[in-house]
A = this chain, B = another copy of it.
Amino acid sequence: MTGLSTRVVLATRNEHKIRELARILTPYGIALESPSDLPDVAETGATFAENALLKAREIASVTGLVAIADDSGLVVDALNGMPGVLSARWAGRHGDDAANLSLVLAQIADVPEERRTAAFVCAAAAVAPSGAEVVVEGRVDGTLLRAPRGSGGFGYDPIFVPLGFSQTTAEMTPEEKDAISHRGKAFRALAPRLSELLGAVE
């Protein structure tokens, strides 16, 4: 594998995701590029996997490089699996974490403890300009608090307590979170497959 072949473009402009994915993928010798001028890709898919592939395909096509993309969200059982693919725009505007989190808390205000179960789900996709592609999913189950706790992470982290833990994912160190997170699991599963795709580029 040449130096060139380690160039992977990350199809996101979300600073939080860029940082998390750099942490997760660096140990695999994968260097991420995240140009600030990537086009917006409409997330019109009905599933995390569809949206991750939509984004990775578009960015691979535009850049001529292997592109990786993440689509992820919070799956709340009392909301029939929503916000799901709409997690980042649940309150109506894209990327307003505080509004999204407040809305979920208000919607499930009357839901008793035993039904406050949820999961974070992440689809990680990689697409080569040749058209070769792969998508894998990671998931972490947990429960939802009634008020936010912790200042780490982003999105719905302050209300999500993974099964077997007492802290929210916003109260964990980045390393603790990566070890159990949906995104950590998905991209660690993707990493070895990525090498295949990168190899195919050479």
Interface of A toward B, CB cutoff 8 Å: 42-44, 46, 78-82, 84, 86, 89-93, 102-103, 106-107, 110-112, 115
Contact = CB atoms under 8 A, between A and B. Distances in A.
Given A91-B103, A92-B106, 20 more contacts: A42-B110, A44-B110, A44-B111, A46-B115, A79-B80, A80-B80, A80-B81, A80-B82, A80-B84, A82-B82, A86-B107, A89-B106, A89-B107, A90-B107, A91-B106, A92-B102, A92-B103, A92-B107, A93-B106, A103-B103
A43 B81 contact: no
Contact of A44 (B86, B89, B103, B112): B112
Contacts of A107: 86, 89-90, 92
Nearest to A106: B92
A150 B93 CA distance: 26
7 contacts: A79-B86, A86-B107, A89-B106, A89-B107, A90-B107, A91-B103, A93-B106
A110 B93 CA distance: 12
A89 B112 CA distance: 17
A104 to B, nearest CB: 9
A93 B109 CA distance: 11
Contacts of A103: 91-92, 103
Nearest to A83: B107
A71 B82 CA distance: 21
Given A92-B102, A107-B90, A79 B78 contact: no
